[in-house]
Structure 1
Amino acid sequence: MTIAQSLDNECTVQLTKCQKYSKKYDRDDLKRQVFIAVCLNIGHVVIGYTVCWTAPVIQKLQSPDLTPLDKPITDENASWIAAILNVGVIIGSQTGAYLSNVIGRKPTLLLAALLLFTSNVILLLSKNFTSLVVGRVVSGLGVGGTACGNLVYIGEIASPEVRGIILTCTGLLHTLGNLLVFSVGPFVSYSVVEYIVIVMTATHVLGLLSIPESPVYHVIKGNDDAARDTLKYLGRSKDIETELKTMIENAKDRRNAYTRIEDSKPLKPRWTWLDIFGRKRNRKALFITSTLLVIQEGAGIVCIIFFATSIFQKAASSVKPDLATIILGIAQVFGILLAPILVEKFGRRTLLIFSTSTCALWTALLGTHFYLESINHPSVESIRWAPLAILVSFLFCYNAGLGIIPNVLVGEMFSPNVRSTGSSIAMCLGWVAGFTSGLSFGYIIIIIGSHAIFLSFAVINILGCLFTLKFVPETKGKSLTEIEAMLAR
């Protein structure tokens, strides 16, 4: 078969799919869903910008000429400013999960967006280290509430045919937020960095005002008519009865969060710790996902993202630190774009083994580079380009496996009735690891040296590889029922 014939066949297949799709959903029916997704995904750009805010800003805060504070910050201060975000994220995500079932998805998302706006106003007006820490904690509250709330909301309002695309876009736009602050931050003043994100958060708040409440929340509250009206508004009139039936059945099954005695009464909270720790498959799922999320956060990504510009300065890279940071942002975007393809082609377990082993190699090489520099080895002068090449390779390998697969497994391994609680526990443990990793960066550099922290990241990645070989099963191509049965053995 010629290339032209292959392309013609592929076009015919795609056209047939589009025709089948158009019979069920008109293009106009999806406009509101796309508009809502845009409003929500502005929040993911803000999250990406906020997470990587420290990379270009730390250098300004440490400079006597550029800092807006009453005095420059130290390396220890920088570690606290970077790491404290994770404390806010932990609290924000758990609080947001609770509030979304009490006051609704939309009000909770609005509250998180207002927290992001408020935090950046605090950071803009900050004149000392304490106010910066307060601003970053409030930022974390907004990031946690927005990140978790957006994924839940999109999953509940999007049509099945476009849900995957919209959810995939959240990761891409998060990374674009990283790239934006990497690209703009080094070349503008501290206040301009803040004005940019304030404008984005204000736009995000205005966008959220125009979205409807989730139909699932209406079902949780026993208001099936309101859920039906929302589905009509979303252009899902043709599958309302099917969706409503599914929502009601799912709501009844989620015994960890709700109990519904009569269809006319709201669902009420209920604890399910016994379901998590009392069943082997859920204990095993929690053990695997928690460990992988801790390794994911402790493998070096937190420090590399938070302190990218500082790392290049300390390494005396031959590439300007500001330019090198932008290149890292671009590498992240390409890694995110390739990751879904690689996961489906090679499977979860294989990619995790590849990712952790190669990340161990790159962090060990960077640690070795810093050690050679600390002893003034003559070979360092000829390889000033190495830190950039190593970190680009690290980000690609990280995003190809360790950066996404633990999150995929969180959604696959827990039983439906404990998925929400189990995943929140696992993610909290990961964020604690991220806080510890970010906080330790400045102190380890002072006490031991830059080489020590990257060599420790190499050890963590090696442990991650060994853990995967020993405990992580392959879930590619398996149904959720098959995965549950596999974990129950």
Structure 2
Amino acid sequence: MEIEGAMGQYVDFCCSCKLNPLFKGHPFRPTRWIRLVPVASVYTLKKMQGRFWNSKSRKNRKKFKAIVPQVVATCIAALFHIVVGISLAFSAILLPQLEESQNSTNLDTIHITKTEGSWIASILVIVTPAGAIIAGFIMDAIGRLNMLKLAAIPGAIGWVLIATATNVPMLLCGRVLTGFCSAWATSPAIVYITEIAKPDIRGSLVSIAPAFASLGMVVVYLKGWFLDWRLVAWLTNIYTIISVVMIMFIPESPVWLVSKGRIEQARKSLEWINRYQPQPEHKSESFAEMQLAYLQKEHMIKKEQEAQLLGGDGSKRKLKMFFQPTGYKPMLILTGLFFFQQFSGIYITLFYAVTFFKDVGSTINPYLASVFIGTVRFVMSMANTWFMKRFRRRSLMTVSAAGMALCMGISGLFTKWIHEGDDTYNWVPVVMLLLYVVASMLGLLSIPWTMTAELFPLAIRGVAHSIAYGLANLLMFASIQSYYSLTDIFGGSSGIQYFFAVVALGGLAYSVVFLPETHRKKLKDIESYFLTNTMYYSFSCNNKTKPNKKPTTQKNEQRKPIVKNSRVQVIDKKISNDQSLKMITSKA
């Protein structure tokens, strides 16, 4: 009985260690283990199991427990991104339902044209840059969390206008207000997460926000499959109310509190965020107090730097930096990247998802296909953090653009065959579009947005980021607004897919020629790159053609005496002529 019980403990131990007890190479395989039972007994196995859990799992549990408050605060601050995702994808369910009800005689039916439909989809994008700029000033004045609460006001009013709309102007006004809500909720949430997160987990926590936005897209696609668009608009306000209520249970950003001189509130905020942090060894201060002292010091340094920058002709210096290679080259490269991003169909398939799948002609329910698309975006948004850390930017962009072009080209070909009457493989376009979304998430969707914070010098980074963000939204507005026109120009759904494939190939060529590599590069190295390079190809050629200066001296060995303990020891040491010359010139 003791042996059977011990064997059970052993198997449990192997399972906990994820080991196979029957594997021949296992150091504790049964034939060897049974001989040890009389000596080791059950006590030894329990001790081994306890040592395993004590040495690794306990440390992991402590580390995880220490970051729990940061994770909770991040998830609550990012809740508004669910509403943002619903706002972005709402036109995908609104427009097809309005088109289906055009022949209805109901009094609440809204009749729209294709031009009006494109404005309903795209107007949200055009107001986002202005809303983001306004949010930047307001959140610096009233705080990050108060800005999130304020964002609920235009959001709630906008969704009520949409739900009760009787004409197109009411829908447009509602979309404008929800656009301001999206801008006012996105920027403060990202800033808040950045300011409370530890540096080693900051990237992972920031990625929660876009993941929640992708979740909102899945929610709206799923609801649009079963519910009327008016009811979906009413239900969206529930997420808004829940977000505002939950925000009341987390503390304000300690960085902002220190900047406003609210030291005591900043201390309480840091104590909440770091409540499970262990007491530093050989320190009388708590972890929160050490963080507070660090934030105060950083705030003083930042104030001095801002005073130097803004003093005298600081504004003129900033303006001149935009006309230097480190200013205008990154802006031109990013503008090209955003052009290929927007006109390769990435956001068009988001804003017109259901309509797009209807035009393809597949027998798969277009709402179900849209749910699949949203789910893939959600999963890839979480996995993208790992890809960005693991692989180079240029490699990701190459794979992404090539994959998008291939998938969209195949989808366009099968769409053409479906329209010609051959529906044998009518599922292929849906599968190809799912793979297209996967490919887009790897590079062409995410990397241009990431590079807005990497390519510019520190002195103009904030202003340059805002300008690049505004240009990207203008291009997004142009692509979404022109979808129906482009479809007519290129002859239908298959033609527009061929167009997207060609643009993706253009993005591939553009990335190979112009895109700089920023993965694991210091910001100063990126800045120095633009001083002498515009095309990455020329940069690579210059590096390859640099002469590899190797010493051409003969293998002569010089003997150098070393005196040690009154005895002369002779050692062999190779000294090249180049090294000798450097030594002589340095002495001279």
**Matched-pair contact (CA < 8 Å) for 1:113–1:205:** yes
Equivalences for 1:380-399 in 2 at 5 Å? 380-399=422-441
Q: Following TM superposition, by how much is the alpha carbon of 1:63 offset from its aligned partner in structure 2, in angstroms?
A: 2.2
Match of 1:482 in 2: 525
**Matched-pair contact (CA < 8 Å) for 1:126–1:132:** yes
Match of 2:242 in 1: 203
Match of 2:155 in 1: 116
Q: 1:356 aligns with which of 381, 391, 401?
A: 401
Match of 1:420 in 2: 462
- Separation of aligned partners in 2, 1:344 and 1:14: 31
1:90 matches 2:129: yes
Match of 1:81 in 2: 120
Q: 2:99 aligns with which of 37, 54, 62?
A: 62
Q: Following TM superposition, by how much is the alpha carbon of 1:199 offset from its aligned partner in structure 2, in angstroms?
A: 0.1
Of structures 1 and 2, the one with the larger relative CO (CA 8 A, separation 6+) is 1
- Separation of aligned partners in 2, 1:445 and 1:14: 63
Equivalences for 1:96-135 in 2 at 5 Å? 96-135=135-174
Q: Following TM superposition, by how much is the alpha carbon of 1:44 offset from its aligned partner in structure 2, in angstroms?
A: 1.0
Match of 1:19 in 2: 59
1:316 matches 2:355: no
Partner amino acid for 2:463?
Answer: T
RMSD over equivalenced CA pairs, Å: 3.3
Q: Following TM superposition, by how much is the alpha carbon of 1:134 offset from its aligned partner in structure 2, in angstroms?
A: 1.0
Match of 1:239 in 2: 291
Q: Following TM superposition, by how much is the alpha carbon of 1:288 offset from its aligned partner in structure 2, in angstroms?
A: 2.4
Alignment partner of 2:519: what SS? coil
- Separation of aligned partners in 2, 1:305 and 1:66: 30
1:299 matches 2:344: yes
Match of 2:482 in 1: 440
- After TM superposition, the structure 1 stretch with the greater mean CA deviation from structure 2, 382-391 or 224-233, is 224-233
Match of 1:455 in 2: 498
TM-score (norm 2): 0.72
- After TM superposition, the structure 1 stretch with the greater mean CA deviation from structure 2, 49-58 or 411-420, is 411-420
- After TM superposition, the structure 1 stretch with the greater mean CA deviation from structure 2, 219-228 or 48-57, is 219-228
Q: Following TM superposition, by how much is the alpha carbon of 1:211 offset from its aligned partner in structure 2, in angstroms?
A: 4.1
- Separation of aligned partners in 2, 1:94 and 1:114: 18
- Separation of aligned partners in 1, 2:495 and 2:107: 32
Equivalences for 1:214-293 in 2 at 5 Å? 214-221=253-260, 227-235=266-274, 237=288, 238-253=290-305, 259=310, 273-274=318-319, 276-293=321-338
**Matched-pair contact (CA < 8 Å) for 1:49–1:177:** yes
Closer/same/farther in 2, CA of residues 49 and 69 from structure 1, 3 Å limit: same
**Matched-pair contact (CA < 8 Å) for 1:338–1:400:** no
**Matched-pair contact (CA < 8 Å) for 2:361–2:415:** no
Q: Following TM superposition, by how much is the alpha carbon of 1:371 offset from its aligned partner in structure 2, in angstroms?
A: 4.5
Aligned length: 472
Match of 1:145 in 2: 184
**Matched-pair contact (CA < 8 Å) for 1:360–1:461:** yes
Match of 1:186 in 2: 225
Q: Following TM superposition, by how much is the alpha carbon of 1:121 offset from its aligned partner in structure 2, in angstroms?
A: 1.2
Deviations 1:195-252, CA, capped at 9 Å, x for gaps: 2211001111223344444333344445556544543443361422223323443454
- After TM superposition, the structure 1 stretch with the greater mean CA deviation from structure 2, 471-480 or 128-137, is 471-480
Alignment partner of 1:483: what SS? helix
TM-score (norm 1): 0.86
Between the aligned residues of both structures, percent identity stands at 25
Deviations 1:127-148, CA, capped at 9 Å, x for gaps: 1111111111111111122112
**Matched-pair contact (CA < 8 Å) for 1:254–1:418:** no
Closer/same/farther in 2, CA of residues 372 and 301 from structure 1, 3 Å limit: same
- After TM superposition, the structure 1 stretch with the greater mean CA deviation from structure 2, 235-244 or 354-363, is 235-244
Q: Following TM superposition, by how much is the alpha carbon of 1:191 offset from its aligned partner in structure 2, in angstroms?
A: 2.6
Deviations 1:299-354, CA, capped at 9 Å, x for gaps: 20121111111112112202111211111122222322332233333311111011
**Matched-pair contact (CA < 8 Å) for 2:208–2:382:** no
- After TM superposition, the structure 1 stretch with the greater mean CA deviation from structure 2, 382-391 or 217-226, is 217-226
- Separation of aligned partners in 2, 1:68 and 1:46: 29
Partner amino acid for 1:330?
Answer: T
Closer/same/farther in 2, CA of residues 249 and 18 from structure 1, 3 Å limit: farther
Deviations 1:104-156, CA, capped at 9 Å, x for gaps: 33332222232222211111111111111111111111112211221111111
- Separation of aligned partners in 2, 1:403 and 1:464: 11
Equivalences for 1:307-346 in 2 at 5 Å? 307-346=352-391
Match of 1:265 in 2: none
Closer/same/farther in 2, CA of residues 14 and 487 from structure 1, 3 Å limit: farther
- After TM superposition, the structure 1 stretch with the greater mean CA deviation from structure 2, 30-39 or 47-56, is 30-39
**Matched-pair contact (CA < 8 Å) for 1:367–1:455:** yes
Alignment partner of 1:382: what SS? coil
1:347 matches 2:395: no
- Separation of aligned partners in 1, 2:106 and 2:518: 49
Alignment partner of 1:474: what SS? coil
Match of 2:508 in 1: 465
Closer/same/farther in 2, CA of residues 342 and 164 from structure 1, 3 Å limit: closer
Partner amino acid for 2:84?
Answer: I
Closer/same/farther in 2, CA of residues 195 and 222 from structure 1, 3 Å limit: same
Match of 2:81 in 1: 44
Partner amino acid for 1:410?
Answer: T
- Separation of aligned partners in 2, 1:154 and 1:419: 20
Q: Following TM superposition, by how much is the alpha carbon of 1:51 offset from its aligned partner in structure 2, in angstroms?
A: 0.7
**Matched-pair contact (CA < 8 Å) for 1:88–1:139:** no
- Separation of aligned partners in 1, 2:335 and 2:303: 26
Structure 2 unmatched ranges of 5 or more: 1-16, 21-47, 275-286, 533-588
Alignment partner of 2:482: what SS? helix
- Separation of aligned partners in 1, 2:162 and 2:380: 31
Q: Following TM superposition, by how much is the alpha carbon of 1:295 offset from its aligned partner in structure 2, in angstroms?
A: 2.4
Match of 2:14 in 1: none
Q: Following TM superposition, by how much is the alpha carbon of 1:12 offset from its aligned partner in structure 2, in angstroms?
A: 8.0
Partner amino acid for 1:208?
Answer: I
Deviations 1:81-110, CA, capped at 9 Å, x for gaps: 111110121221121122223343333222
**Matched-pair contact (CA < 8 Å) for 2:340–2:504:** yes
Closer/same/farther in 2, CA of residues 17 and 242 from structure 1, 3 Å limit: farther
**Matched-pair contact (CA < 8 Å) for 1:33–1:158:** yes
Match of 1:34 in 2: 71
Closer/same/farther in 2, CA of residues 341 and 230 from structure 1, 3 Å limit: closer
- Separation of aligned partners in 2, 1:143 and 1:311: 24
Partner amino acid for 1:51?
Answer: L
Q: Following TM superposition, by how much is the alpha carbon of 1:48 offset from its aligned partner in structure 2, in angstroms?
A: 1.1
Partner amino acid for 1:88?
Answer: V
Closer/same/farther in 2, CA of residues 232 and 204 from structure 1, 3 Å limit: same
